[in-house]
A and B are shown apart, each in its own frame.
Chain A
Amino acid sequence: GAGVSQTPSNKVTEKGKYVELRCDPISGHTALYWYRQSLGQGPEFLIYFQGTGAADDSGLPNDRFFAVRPEGSVSTLKIQRTERGDSAMYLCASSPGTSGEQYFGPGTRLTVT
């Protein structure tokens, strides 16, 4: 079956602009996670959804970052007033349940110039 998909695969934006990153999880997976991976580092947790609600957003670095999952499937990570330090690979993962392993998408590489 289809895996986790993320669009766009690459996004280049200017400092100060607004961006949206999209994640389509595996069908039927109720749990969805966003991570951020800087070069040479492991992924770092941003936010977790169980269904439609953000059950844990403790990893969001500041209030410029926001994510939604209105229908319990597709999720969008939104970044306002982007800064050069936001440049990273943004990974989405989904899981069939809260105890299962997570399946990752190919990521969106965000570059802020």
Chain B
Amino acid sequence: AQKVTQAQTEISVVEKEDVTLDCVYETRDTTYYLFWYKQPPSGELVFLIRRNSFDEQNEISGRYSWNFQKSTSSFNFTITASQVVDSAVYFCALSYTSGTYKYIFGTGTRLKVLA
């Protein structure tokens, strides 16, 4: 069975602090995709990143960075120098690489960045 765990329900930080959101996944598949989405108060899920299970290179995009470690089945997301606009619920998701490609989402982490 496939499962995604986001153990942090809610995190509060002060603006300009760095924050890491944890994601642990379970799958028996050897190939899979991992994703992060942002859900701001408006409600629309915004795509942030997709990672193929074959590619363990870490990625940086501006203030965002992702650390993928197959050995620990984790795909953590770090925001550097957080801003108030980063306040949102962040979801980690897993999908198959064949068949339906449907997503299995975690329960999300609510990030509050205080001014």
Contact = CB atoms under 8 A, between A and B. Distances in A.
A24 B114 CA distance: 36
Interface residues of A, number: 26
Interface string B82-115: 0000000001010001011111111110000000
Given A104-B45, A106-B44, A45 B35 contact: no
A28 interface: no
Contacts of B37: 104
A102 B104 CA distance: 12
A99 B108 contact: no
Contacts of B45: 43, 91, 93, 104
B103 A43 contact: yes
Interface in B18-55: 33, 35, 37, 42-47, 50
A48 B44 contact: no
Interface residues of B, number: 24
A27 to B, nearest CB: 18
Nearest to B52: A99
Contacts of B43: 89, 106-107
Interface in A82-97: 89, 91, 93, 95
A101 B97 CA distance: 11
Nearest to A93: B45
Given A45-B102, A99-B33, 19 more contacts: A31-B101, A35-B103, A41-B107, A42-B93, A43-B91, A43-B103, A43-B105, A45-B103, A48-B101, A48-B102, A56-B99, A59-B102, A91-B45, A93-B45, A102-B103, A104-B37, A104-B47, A106-B42, A107-B44
